Structure 1
């Protein structure tokens, strides 16, 4: 549990709290030595949000006029504990979007402490995040290269996706496309055009640096690439269509 002190201006440590979606969680914060906080202005905030305010105590009462709307009706203090220096925050009905770094701040003393809330990162989403699915999508006519597609679903928090060549060098593929479902869970996809090389092995990698999670899928493009196959398929389709047209025309002329 973090605590304020008259000498310390800022904590060098961040305490981590792990919660599951739908749970209620307490973010701890208190002063040491104990003092009556009901007479102070004390603020809970999320620096990455606008407005940043999660819950504020001011003029001996809760002040929620500037509260970020995503927390409306879900935050509360232990009012009977304020006189003992306890400014812990209760966050109800935890959501995926609550994942983040929270600041407990006393403006008068200019002291602040941080809590990192991780929502479901070490449970459901570590197991439900899919490995990237890689497929050959066709030919790039302008470069005669082969287009590879990659997609992965069920990732949270936001992942990054990139391609590696056979020597594990990052390839230029442009920014990945990302979308979220109503719970804020990510689906990410990317396309890259590759040229014929001595080693036609490629890797699509998805990773989350903050939680040290990554998955990757490898694909080998044949030496002759799928160019020949794709051309053969196209010619085959043209031949079939021509044959049916010929049969139809012949039947029509006989009638």
Structure 2
């Protein structure tokens, strides 16, 4: 970029000042935020060259430095190579059309909990890199059961299995206010998924409604189940999930 500035002198002569500004060199750009994917889904790990250029013939490498071998996906002189970590075999791909536009984003299919980690997007010949942090999460719907009843109250238990990372569980009344409950119990299974449960005591008033909420903040996953404790005959409760109404018998 060339700009001119003229400085007046006492005579008719003027001094021309030339200012040269050169564009910044190319760089690899990754996401500024954590990338989250649910267990079993596909995810795109963003990475692109700026300014854009055709990368189809370049040598590129996606890797995780905590693995041995570290290679997640390798491309050399326009060809995808097979020397990748066996845990990623058949699950990674780069788009040729995107590479033409300077987009090195990696598609990772059928994500597993072992895919959690920091990935390096690396242009070998230019020695440029960017990091992408992936968090794989899992979530499932909670289920409420009545486990005890005495007098005018009932003890309800909310259980939800198959979570990652560990979630929080809470109870709310019909107005959305938190209901005091006992300390939750958490169990981590051999598959590394968490099961959480919590108990609360509520009055068996007609139309009394409580909601169990299970939430994981880092993955922004929330699951809700609502139950209505009825004062009708046969001591029946109604459990609502989505648009469905399921009638249960209190224990």
Q: Using structure 2 for the length normalisation, give the TM-score.
A: 0.47
Q: Using structure 1 for the length normalisation, give the TM-score.
A: 0.47
Larger RCO: Structure 1 or Structure 2 (Cα < 8 Å, ≥ 6 residues apart)?
1
